Amino acid sequence: MKSLNPRFIFLLSLTVVSSSLGFYLPGLAPVSFCEKEDAKECQKDIQLFVNRLDSVESVLPYEYDAFDFCKDTDERRPSENLGQVLFGERIETSPYKFTFKSDKACVKVCTKSYDAGSKEDKLKLDFLKKGMELNYQHHWIVDNMPVTWCYIVEGNQKVCNPGFPIGCLVNQEGKPKDACVINADFNKKNAYYIFNHVDITIFYHSGDETNGMSARLVAATLEPRRSDFHSNDDKPTCDGTPMDIPAEFKNNLKVTYTYSIQFKQNDDIRWASRWDYILVSMPHTNIQWFSIMNSLVIVLFLSGMVAMIMLRTLHKDIARYNQMDQEEAQEESGWKQVHGDVFRPPRMGMLLSVFLGQGTQVFIMTFITLFLACLGFLSPANRGALMTCSVVLWVLLGTPAGYVSARLYKTFGGENWKTNVLLTAFLCPGIVFVDFFLMNLILWVEGSSAAIPFGTLVAILALWFGISVPLTFVGAYFGFKKPGIEPPVRTNQIPRQIPQQSFFTKPVPGIIMGGILPFGCIFIQLFFILNSIWSHQMYYMFGFLFLVFIILLITCSEATVLLCYFHLCAEDYHWWWRSFLTSGFTAVYLFVYAVHYFFSKLQIIGVASTILYFGYTLIMVLIFFIFTGTIGFFACFLFVNKIYSVLKVD
């Protein structure tokens, strides 16, 4: 039986909603085009938008205007949501404007002149060369659809990349780098070749005249190349041998930017599935599907084995214990003998309760976000929606964070409720914000488009202090009003001495072992998530991500419960922090994998990019640590309460 395709779920839900209720998801409403513009039905002008430029060799993205490209005289910036701003997207209009079904060849956009005696021109050209050296990529948008560069790779496989390079470099040894390998004419040593001409092809669905539906754009591709512009009043041409830009700027230089546009009818692609040609052709897609399914089968099998062992062992253990007399029971050893100490409040209960409150907030936020993404509401076509949804949910979920933290702190016997609620509201968010602010300072200094504007930072602080903090106080108020969670057995006044532990039942080895299985079920997805963040690939498999999320919950819970049971059998009753750290240690494996990914998969160079990578990685690790630790703690908490509630203890 074939698994449900997340794109199919998204398109099905979109079709049902649009047909029954008569509206479209934000950012996904279709636009009709025609040769003669009708203000009510269709439009004939097509505007090409440009986004920020990025590179796999640098974490620093830059705005289109940072480079000396042709600029739109009537530049406009569409309104951007919070997620787009946080991700560093900077969309603006471009001078590339087309008319529907109007093919044109070698259209001049502008000419950039560089004077060898001008320091300003030298700086502009040097920055352009740096962009080509680091393989910075354009990202163009037509009708909310990325303009893709399609090429053939090994195995005669067609790959479409939602971006194309500024240019390329042939080094001093005469070895072409990056895109320069596609053309044998790029053969001068120590020279730069800028792609100043693009052949654009726009595919459209002709529509249905019987229903009065006009044409709609379904695909947009381009072919970048370097060409010389020969001005002719009748027939300008963009042919000739590619002109190189020498590494040393000694002579005056002119670069003319041109384009050719062609419209092709394609009724095989429907508007609702126009993103498929990008998603299906992405590299390693087939490997990803197979690897995810293989990982799911292995993790489900292991989880089933753990559950079966735990259920059978505990069932027999409890049944045998309840059949004994109390005198015989006193001679028993193991988890039954620590019933008077197992609910003894932990050390640093304040910090543990704060982590658990924040973890609850992150868990609910993640669950709702992934569920909405799985249904297609946060698809790649709805730019910035994923991050916007996450931030808004986190802000609104301050109440459960305050409630859980206060209730558990009261269960631990804590009385300093003011400190508890303040730490819940400010500790973890404060660490994240300080790290984020320091990274933003580096982006400001480097002039990157990813730097968050001051106004946005103020807005984030307003959301935090104006909404999240008050809601956290409200949750803490209701949490402290209720009594603490009553344990099923009484706690002895004198702590029981813990016997000598074997190597595997000591805290550190158990915690280290506890994170292996949960990490094993996510590392494949983690690879593609890191690719989408740092290698600028498009991530769209939210259906499988949601399944992996559920399996992560199950695996963290079962691994923590299993190790907790072994420690209790060894008469070690310090399970509070250990249950949190056992599953939370998965975050350490995540960090180790991120370090491996940095050195083995990425080509990032530069101190600033390295600091930014590890700075943002630490934020991810902290959030993941709190999230997984919370899952393990509550699973173990429910388990311990359950097994000790069935004991016949006076």
| SS3 assignment, position 321 | helix
The predicted pLDDT at position 212 comes to 56
**In whole angstroms, what is the distance from residue 574 CA to residue 640 CA?**
12
* Position 64 in a domain: yes
Whether the pLDDT of residue 281 is over 60: the answer is no
Mean pLDDT of 553-578: 86
Asked if residue 189 and residue 69 are part of one domain, the reply reads: yes
Question: Strand pairing of 245-246 and 58-62?
Answer: unpaired
Residues 6+ apart with CB under 8 A from 529: 539, 545
Range with the largest mean pLDDT of 110-114, 328-332, 601-605:
110-114
* Position 90 in a domain: yes
The predicted pLDDT at position 613 comes to 93
| Cα–Cα distances in angstroms (integers) from residue 510 to residues 336, 505, 506, 578, 624, in the given order | 21, 6, 6, 9, 19
* Position 303 in a domain: yes
Mean pLDDT of 299-323: 67
**In whole angstroms, what is the distance from residue 35 CA to residue 41 CA?**
12
Q: Which of 16-20, 207-211, 230-234, 599-603 has the lowest mean pLDDT?
A: 16-20
Mean pLDDT of 65-73: 88
Whether the pLDDT of residue 525 is over 80: the answer is yes
Q: How many domains does the chain have?
A: 2
The predicted pLDDT at position 295 comes to 67
Asked if residue 644 and residue 595 are part of one domain, the reply reads: yes
Asked if residue 601 and residue 563 are part of one domain, the reply reads: yes
Whether the pLDDT of residue 540 is over 80: the answer is no
Point out which residues pair with 159 in neighbouring strands: 151
In the DSSP assignment, the letter for residue 214 is -
Asked if residue 288 and residue 162 are part of one domain, the reply reads: no
The predicted pLDDT at position 84 comes to 84
The predicted pLDDT at position 23 comes to 36
Range with the largest mean pLDDT of 270-274, 322-326, 576-580:
576-580
Whether the pLDDT of residue 590 is over 90: the answer is yes
Mean pLDDT of 197-220: 80
Whether the pLDDT of residue 254 is over 80: the answer is yes
Region of 209 on the Ramachandran plot (φ > 0 left; ψ -120 to 50 alpha; else beta): alpha
Mean pLDDT of 284-312: 67
* Position 386 in a domain: no
Secondary structure (DSSP) of 9-48: HHHHHHHHHHHHH----TT-----B-SS-BTTTBB-EEEE
Whether the pLDDT of residue 374 is over 60: the answer is yes
Mean pLDDT of 96-124: 89
**In whole angstroms, what is the distance from residue 144 CA to residue 91 CA?**
11
Asked if residue 640 and residue 522 are part of one domain, the reply reads: yes
* Position 554 in a domain: yes
Measured between its terminal Cα atoms, the distance across the chain in Å is 54
In the DSSP assignment, the letter for residue 263 is E
* Position 337 in a domain: no
Secondary structure (DSSP) of 594-617: HHHHHHHT----SHHHHHHHHHHH
Q: Which of 42-46, 137-141, 205-209, 268-272 has the lowest mean pLDDT?
A: 205-209
Model confidence at 586, in pLDDT bands (50, 70, 90)? very high
Range with the largest mean pLDDT of 175-184, 269-278, 607-616:
607-616
584 vs 538 pLDDT, higher one = 584
Model confidence at 24, in pLDDT bands (50, 70, 90)? very low
Q: How much is the pTM?
A: 0.85
In the DSSP assignment, the letter for residue 311 is H
Whether the pLDDT of residue 5 is over 50: the answer is no
The predicted pLDDT at position 574 comes to 83
Element (H, E) at 59: strand 58-62
Question: pLDDT by residue (tens digit) across 119-165?
Answer: 898 998 999 999 988 889 999 999 888 898 887 766 677 777 888 99
Asked if residue 188 and residue 296 are part of one domain, the reply reads: no
Model confidence at 367, in pLDDT bands (50, 70, 90)? very high
Model confidence at 77, in pLDDT bands (50, 70, 90)? confident
Model confidence at 314, in pLDDT bands (50, 70, 90)? low
State how far Cα 310 lies from the chain centre. 35
The predicted pLDDT at position 362 comes to 96
The predicted pLDDT at position 200 comes to 93
Asked if residue 595 and residue 584 are part of one domain, the reply reads: yes
Q: Which of 210-214, 360-364, 443-447, 454-458 has the lowest mean pLDDT?
A: 210-214
| SS3 assignment, position 518 | helix
Q: What is the mean pLDDT of the chain?
A: 81
Range with the largest mean pLDDT of 95-99, 308-312, 400-404:
400-404
Give percent of the chain with pLDDT exceeding 90: 28
Asked if residue 131 and residue 272 are part of one domain, the reply reads: yes
Asked if residue 75 and residue 131 are part of one domain, the reply reads: yes
Asked if residue 183 and residue 57 are part of one domain, the reply reads: yes
Whether the pLDDT of residue 186 is over 80: the answer is no
Mean pLDDT of 599-608: 86
Q: Which domain holds residue 265?
A: 31-283
Model confidence at 318, in pLDDT bands (50, 70, 90)? low
Model confidence at 210, in pLDDT bands (50, 70, 90)? very low
Model confidence at 404, in pLDDT bands (50, 70, 90)? very high
Model confidence at 298, in pLDDT bands (50, 70, 90)? low
Asked if residue 290 and residue 203 are part of one domain, the reply reads: no
The predicted pLDDT at position 26 comes to 40
> What torsion, rounded to 10 degrees, do the Cα atoms 18, 23, 29, 32 define?
80
Q: In sequence order, which ranges of 348-468 are alpha helices (DSSP H)? A: 349-375, 385-396, 398-411, 417-446, 454-463
Asked if residue 296 and residue 212 are part of one domain, the reply reads: no
Model confidence at 322, in pLDDT bands (50, 70, 90)? low
Q: Which of 22-26, 212-216, 403-407, 433-437 has the lowest mean pLDDT?
A: 22-26
425 vs 294 pLDDT, higher one = 425
Which residue in the block uniquely carries the two structure tokens 């590494």?
247
Whether the pLDDT of residue 335 is over 70: the answer is no
**HSE-CB for 352 with a 13 A CA cutoff:** 23
**In whole angstroms, what is the distance from residue 245 CA to residue 254 CA?**
10
Whether the pLDDT of residue 544 is over 50: the answer is yes
* Position 115 in a domain: yes
Mean pLDDT of 327-331: 48
* Position 308 in a domain: yes
